[in-house]
């Protein structure tokens, strides 16, 4: 992969794990864990048309924490890992919310999606032979 994450991603990116009203993950730029928590709750409440008190978050992890927790070869991609299976490799976030317009983050996600699609196509071709 060619896209390198920006310095802003490396210093201000947080991944929020959403519990309710929707499960999944969201990426947000913030100056602190607490600010990321507040932004995540507020934006999800607005997107879902519910009260902020009806939004539940499980975890808020910084870029550095995500890199340390991940196991993949590409450290920048580790931010998208939600689990790791020793036999099959990383389990990727599915349809994350991007609560930022950082082009390097969006580009890295697009590259990952393209690589996963290419792998699936190659596997389907091999099975069809």
Number of domains in the chain: 1
Domain assignment present for residue 59? The answer is yes
pLDDT tens per residue across span 6-19 = 999 999 999 999 99
Say what the pTM is: 0.90
Domain assignment present for residue 39? The answer is yes
Domain assignment present for residue 107? The answer is no
Domain assignment present for residue 15? The answer is yes
Cis omega (within 30 of 0) for bond into 21: yes
Domain assignment present for residue 85? The answer is yes
Domain assignment present for residue 64? The answer is yes
Helix (H) or strand (E) holding 15: strand 13-20
Q: How far is CA 45 from the centre of its chain?
A: 19
Rounded to an integer, the average pLDDT of 102-114 is 95
pLDDT tens per residue across span 51-92 = 999 999 999 999 999 999 999 889 999 999 999 888 888 999
Exposure of 10 in the CB half-sphere (CA atoms within 13 A): 6
User: Which residue has tokens 């389907």?
Assistant: 124
Domain residues for the domain of 12 are 7-100
Sheet with 24-29: list strands edge to edge: 56-62, 13-20, 24-29, 97-99
> Residue 56: what pLDDT?
94
């Amino acid at each position: 992969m060619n896209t390198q994450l920006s310095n802003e991603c490396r210093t201000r990116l947080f991944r929020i794990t959403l519990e309710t009203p929707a499960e999944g993950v969201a990426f947000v730029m913030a100056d602190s864990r607490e600010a990321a928590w507040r932004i995540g709750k507020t934006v999800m409440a607005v997107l879902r048309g519910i009260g902020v008190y009806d939004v539940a978050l499980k975890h808020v992890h910084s870029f550095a924490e995500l890199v340390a927790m991940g196991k993949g070869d590409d450290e920048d991609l580790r931010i998208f890992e939600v689990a790791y299976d020793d036999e099959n490799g990383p389990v990727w976030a599915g349809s994350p919310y991007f609560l930022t317009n950082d082009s390097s983050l969006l580009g890295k996600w697009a590259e990952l999606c393209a690589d996963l699609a290419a792998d699936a196509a190659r596997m389907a071709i091999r099975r069809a032979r």
